[in-house]
Amino acid sequence: MASAKKKKDEKKFLQYKGKPLVRKGTQIYYGNHDDKYIISMLVKSSTRIIDLDVSTRIEVKLQTNEAPGKEKVIKKAEREGIYSALDLGEFWLQEALAEDGDSQ
């Protein structure tokens, strides 16, 4: 029964390519909380189109997944648009997890 509840809780997050995508304000986190690495994205600027804010400049970081304040940034870049940022982040994350042997 506990496993069914855990699966139900995991489904609450938006998923991208099978991994959770969580946003809090201008910060976006991508990756499983159990993995050694995650992607952190910071929306640096956005544009309002009709009634929707569209992210235009995103800072992407591959970092270790440790306690807050103890994370170590491995790679860092900036991209124009959320899709470019997610694409880069997904590539970095898969590469890092494969090298570490945590590939899923």
Q: Domain of residue 35: give its range.
A: 2-100
**The pTM is what?**
0.78
Look at residue 100 and give its three-state secondary structure.
Answer: helix
Q: pLDDT, tens digit, for every residue of 34-79?
A: 899 999 999 998 889 998 888 889 999 999 988 777 888 999 999 9
What's the sign of the alpha-carbon dihedral 33, 39, 43, 47? Answer: negative
Given a cut of 80, is residue 102 above it in pLDDT?
no
Task: Specify the number of domains making up the chain.
Answer: 1
Q: pLDDT, tens digit, for every residue of 78-99?
A: 999 999 999 999 999 999 999 8
Please report the pLDDT score of residue 77 as a whole number.
95
